[in-house]
Amino acid sequence: MSARTKGIAAAQMGRRSDRKRNRLATILFLGPAALILGLLVYSIVYTVGRSLFDAYGGFVGIANYKRVFTEPRMLVAVRNNAIWVAIVPAAVTSLGLIFAVLTERIRWSSAFRMVMFMPLVISGLAAGVTFRFMYAGDPNVGFMNAVVQKAVHIAKPPGLYPGARLSVDDFAIAVDGAFESKSPVAVGQQANFAMAAIRPALVPENATELSVPAPVADGISGVVWLDFLSGGRGTRGQPDPGKQGLPGIRVEAVKDGKVVGAAYTQNDGTYTITGLAPGEYTIRLSEASFRQPFGGYYWLGRDFIIPALIIAYIWINTGFSLMMIGAGLSAINRDLLEAARTEGANEWQVFRHITVPSLMPVVMVVFVRAIISVLKIFDLVLVIAPESVQADATVLALEMWNAAFGGMNDHGLGSALATILFLLILPVMLSNIRRFRLEQ
Amino acid sequence: MKLNSRMLTLVLALLVIFAVPVAAASEWPNLAGETVNVIALWSGDEQRSFEAVLARFSELTGAQVVYSPTPDNMATVLGTRVEGGNPPDIAILPNPGLVKQFARRGFLVPIEEVTGDLVDKYYAPVWRELGSVDGELYGVWYKAANKSVVWYNTNIFAEVGLEVPTTWEEMIEAAEMIDFFGITPFSTGGGSSWVLTDWFENIYLRTAGPEMYDKLVEHEISWTDPSVIEAFEYLKQVLGRADWLAGGVEGTLEATHPQGIIKPFLDPPQAAMAYGADFSVSAIQTETSAVVGVDALFFPFPSIKGSPGAVVGGGDAAVMMKDTPGARALIRFLATPEAAEIWAARGGLTSPNQGVDLSVYPNEIAAASAKALQEAEWFRFDLSDLVPQEFGSTAGTGMRGGFQEFVRNPDIEAITSQLEKDAQKAY
């Protein structure tokens, strides 16, 4: 063997061991990925398979899928998912774009962006609980209603005796929150009102026991009193001794729809409207004394629950699109912007024709990511929507959870829902991957 | 002779001193070195109390007890552990439906010979029935809940001048007086649908009686049966009156049970009475400044048409999943009054065990609840826990969705026919 052939043999040996080493490296590098991929594929295949069986493991074919598309509740979930996909990705992306462009121009832009990004750091569950409280109906609990209440009370302050009503209905009736004598009262006569549903603790401290005033010649007098006595004593509608007068109520004499005289009740509940021309008048207790405080709007009721959820979602996720688009924005070629401005383009034109097209790739990524995350939406609905409106607010992922783990324990139906969700997300994901490839 | 008699006394005295512990020890086997695994839903305070009970068991037997709380979904957790060949020795199941399901799937060991005598001695027959599947005893009801109580603000009752109502008519009359007085009579945390279904179950048990109640559980009578309609007519007198419910319809449906139960005890109070359970006491104590037993008390759910003492309740049953000496001893121990008294004295446990001395309960409220439970002539388990899960305990559908819809639209015909339709799908 010559030295040359020896060398070739050695080189071949070396190549072989190189190849061996390469193969080892390949396995080492791909192994974990393959393992994870294998687990993933296994669970997808298992889920698809499981969806063809019922809760107890009996084969039912496509019955679970039929259920999804026939049960009204599931159809509501499908409809709601459609609403989410139609509104939310567009809203989150465009808000992110607007904020990104605007914050570029302000001095504290990174601080602002950080604040906007913060909600994303909080877990969805915690954010959901916070929103549940913010939306609470009771203005003492819910932030939204506290704000609305403040505003409403400036325009229409609550009355002295909110929620009061007539004790008996023989003399007067309720009209638009006020109380009116059923028939006109002649001058010189009396008009007395027995009221109920006023907690004695809420009656002003200066109130005293009622008294019945004397009739007056040129007017109408009477008494307004609290018709309640502890233990049901006394007769309803009668000015029994011991019952309290109600001070501070505006009493009006009305003729032909016009107020022609008025007086306030005294500490003992009496009032006297004087200076009335002879004739008959309707006597009215002003609505302002009985106006209820603003009781709160039920944001979490049936009608507003989906917008309420969407607002919460947008609040949490706008920060993410802002960050992504902001990063894209800082990579834009500044010369282009400057050139356009020099050519005399206004800011809107620069935004519309330079900024947006240059940002398109990153905007699309943000948009597609939003579609995927919206299709999977689950935690916010579960936490924010009270049980009583979950049937109205439900989405596919929540139905999947309900079916599989939330009481029904039907893993077949749950798997069918999971499969449908997977099929809905798949095309979005594939188009995203294709886009990546094209860009490379 | 003198000496001998003295000796005899000494011997007798020694016998007395030593014989007592020896006899006590002999009731429980020596299980030193054994480990017993227990699983239950209890965590936090409940866990600490239960661990005190288990510590006493360890003291008596020498066995080591390992307790694992599972936060939720007992069915899934236990199902998985059995399939994996690693069931716990003892599990505490939160309703008879699970006992039945697990017994039929062969997960449980019958306990007649282990502790049947104690169950007969200390429990009312209804508890043996609830713990039995196909005539075989599987469960010991260690903990119970009395869900036939109406909490009320004593100050409002005093101000209005009301007596505590004992009949339905008296309660409605009281509600009218309270409304006239200027406070909303009732608060109901209808956002937790079990509060609404429990209202119905309490009425139905009283108007139709326990036999009909059992038939409704098995769906032997339909939900459109006249007896069901009658119960709904009573229910409508309260849940059908939005002006009698704190927060109206929407406020009732938004509030969860803890949020609803505290409304009578807020300052200012938003209601006078709230339907709840004996365990509602913790919500009232932590969320309001009302003193339970002074400002906040409950009265038993009122009698209707002369019904005797009746309680709708819940409970937790201990079952044996492995036949080991440790498991046998522990499940027998859990059936004794002593095991219940340890936790009862710490508060938070209502025991169905009639051997439990009512004086061990930490306050009058807890004792009253336990007394009502012990003395109830009619006791029935929460109906929505007994019917198929799809019908009884799936949010937004079946009973849970139906009763919330009834608050929105108190149309008896609509709800009964809807419930019947859902029931037919589930049975």
Cβ of A231 and B76 within 8 Å?
Answer: no
Instruction: Give me the pLDDT at residue B15, please.
Output: 47
- Which residue, among A89, A92, A95, A97, has the nearest Cα to A356 in the 3D structure? A97
How far is Cα A379 from Cα B41, in angstroms, rounded to an integer?
Answer: 23
Q: Among residues A291, A290, A307, A310, which one has the least CA distance to residue A299?
A: A307
| Residues of B whose CB is below 8 A from A202 | 182
For A197, nearest residue in chain B (alpha carbons): B182
Q: Flag whether residue B183 sits within 8 Å of chain A, measured between CB atoms.
A: yes
Own/partner pairs, A300-303, CB within 8 angstroms, 24+ separation: A300/A132, A300/A135, A300/A136, A300/A137, A300/A384, A300/A385, A300/A386, A300/A389, A300/B254, A301/A389, A301/B250, A301/B253, A301/B254, A302/A389, A302/A392
- 3-class DSSP assignment, residue B304: coil
The mean per-residue pLDDT over the stretch B8-18 comes to: 50
Note whether B249 and B242 are within 8 A (CB).
yes
Distance between CA atoms of B354 and B122, rounded to whole angstroms? 5
Residue of B nearest to A295 (CA): B247
Q: Which residues does chain B have within 8 Å of residue A137's beta carbon, measured at their own beta carbons? A: 247, 250-251, 254
| Chain B residue with the nearest C-alpha to that of A294 | B247
Question: From residue A282, how far is each of A148, A161, A421, B344 by CA, in Å?
Answer: 35, 22, 67, 66
SS3 label, residue A227: coil
Ordered by start, the domain boundaries in chain A are 63-149+298-439, 165-290
Confidence tier at B18 by pLDDT (50, 70, 90):
very low
Cβ–Cβ under 8 Å, residues B264 and B271: yes
**Min Cα–Cα distance to chain B from A361, Å:** 42
Cβ contacts below 8 Å, chain A against chain B, sum to: 96
Half-sphere exposure of B386 (CA within 13 A, CB side): 21
Considering only alpha carbons, which residue of chain B is nearest residue A387? B191
Whether cis (ω within 30° of 0) applies to the bond prior to B268 is: yes
Domain with CATH 3.40.190.10 in chain B: 31-145+313-374, 149-311+381-426
- Is the CATH code 3.40.190.10 the one for domain B31-145+313-374? yes
By the 8 A CB rule, do A229 and A217 touch? no
Q: Is residue B201 predicted with pLDDT exceeding 90?
A: yes
Q: Can you tell me the distance from the alpha carbon of B38 to that of B421, in angstroms, rounded to the nearest whole number? A: 40
> What pLDDT score was predicted for residue A4?
56
Q: Which amino acid is at B98?
A: L
Question: For chain A, how long is the longest CA-to-CA vector?
Answer: 147
Cross-chain residue pair B179–A388, CB shorter than 8 Å: no
Å between A206 CA and nearest CA of chain B: 20
Q: Provide the pairing of β-strand A193-196 with A220-226.
A: parallel
pLDDT tops 80 at residue B73: no
| Residue from A237, A247, A260, A170 nearest A202 by CA | A247
Please tell me the distance in Å from A16's CA to the nearest CA on chain B: 47
- CB-closest option in B161, B193, B250 to A301: B250
Compute the radius of gyration of chain A from its Cα atoms.
37
Cross-chain Cβ contact A196/B192 below 8 Å: no
| Residue range B68-88: mean pLDDT, rounded | 82
H-helix or E-strand spanning residue A23? helix A3-50
Take residue A22 and report the two structure tokens written for it: 């390469």
Tell me if A199 and B181 make a contact (CB, 8 A cut-off).
yes
Measure CB to CB from residue A388 to each of B247, B253, B393 and give the nearest one.
B253
Secondary structure of A183-205 in HEC code, one letter for each residue: CCEECCCECCEEEECCCHHHCCC
Hey, what are B322's tokens?
């492995």
Nearest CA-CA partner of B41 in B258, B283, B256, B315 = B315
Strand partners, A173: A180
Non-local CB neighbours of A427 within 8 Å, separated by 6+ positions: none
Q: Provide ipTM, 2 decimals.
A: 0.78
Report pLDDT for B24: 44
| B184 phi, psi to nearest 5 deg | -65, 130
Q: Give the whole-angstrom CA distance, residue A378 versus residue A381.
A: 6
**Interface touch A197/B75, C-beta < 8 Å:** no
Contacting residues of A for B161, CB less than 8 Å apart = 230-233
Tell me, what's the pLDDT at A306? 95
Q: How far, CA to CA in Å, does B163 sit from each of A152, A231, B150, B166?
A: 40, 9, 14, 9
- Cross-chain CB nearest to B161 (options A197, A231, A407): A231
Smallest Cβ distance to B177: which of A164, A232, A409?
A: A232
Give which of B160, B164, B177, B153 is closest to B270, Cα–Cα.
B153
* A81 contacts A394 by C-beta, under 8 angstroms: no
Mark yes or no for CB contact B394/A387 under 8 Å.
Answer: no
Exposure pattern of B183-199 as b/e (b: 16+ CB <10 Å)?
bbbbbbbbbbbbbbbbb
Helices (H), A104-165: 109-121, 124-134, 143-155
Which residue is closest to A402 within chain B, CA to CA? B394
Closest Cα in chain A to B402: A388
What are the b/e assignments for A225-248, b being 16+ CB within 10 Å?
Answer: bbbbbeeeebeebebeeebbbbbb
What are the 10-residue block averages of pLDDT along chain A, 440 residues in total?
54 65 84 89 93 85 89 89 95 92 82 86 89 90 92 91 91 92 93 93 92 91 92 87 94 93 94 92 93 89 93 92 89 84 86 86 90 92 90 92 77 92 90 80
- Measure the CA–CA gap between A88 and A90, rounded to whole angstroms: 5
Residue of A244, A387, A413 best to disrupt the B interface, most CBs of B under 10 A: A387
The average pLDDT across B228-256 equals 95
How many whole angstroms separate alpha carbon A152 and alpha carbon A293?
9
Task: Give the CATH number of domain A63-149+298-439.
Answer: 1.10.3720.10
- Identify residues of A whose CB sits under 8 angstroms from chain B CBs: 73, 136-138, 163-164, 167, 196-202, 228, 230-233, 295-296, 298, 300-301, 386-391, 394, 402, 405-410
**Closest listed residue to residue B402, CA positions, set B386, B419, B385:** B419
Q: Which of B164, B180, B183, B187 to mutate to test the interface with A (most CBs of A within 10 A)?
A: B180
By C-alpha distance, the chain B residue nearest A229 is B160
Helix, strand, or coil (residue A349): helix
Contact B159 A394 (CB under 8 A): no
Tell whether B164 is within 8 A of chain A (Cβ).
no
**Inter-helix orientation angle A411-439/A396-404, to 10°:** 140
Other beta carbons within 10 angstroms of residue A5's beta carbon come to 9
Task: Count other Cβ atoms within 10 Å, centred on residue B110.
Answer: 16
pLDDT, greater one: B397 or B179: B179
Candidates B379, B392, B385, B378; CA nearest to B422 is B392
Between A269-278, A357-366, B78-87, B151-160, the lowest mean confidence (pLDDT) is in B78-87
| CA–CA–CA angle B80, B81, B87 (5° rounding) | 150
Query: Which H or E element spans position A263?
Result: strand A258-264
What average pLDDT does this structure show over B174-191? 94
> Which residue out of B181, B252, B393, B425 would a mutagenesis test of the A interface target, given it has the greatest number of A Cβ atoms within 10 Å?
B181
Q: What is the pLDDT of residues B89-133, one digit of tens each?
A: 999 998 888 898 889 888 999 999 999 999 999 999 989 999 999
The pLDDT assigned to A351 comes to 84
- Scan for tokens 């549940």, then name that residue: A132
The pLDDT assigned to B23 comes to 40
Architecture in CATH of B149-311+381-426? 3-Layer(aba) Sandwich (3.40)
Closest-CA distance of chain A to residue B124, Å: 30
Work out the pLDDT band at B2, boundaries 50, 70, 90: very low
Rounded-to-integer distance, Cα B39 and Cα B322, Å: 13
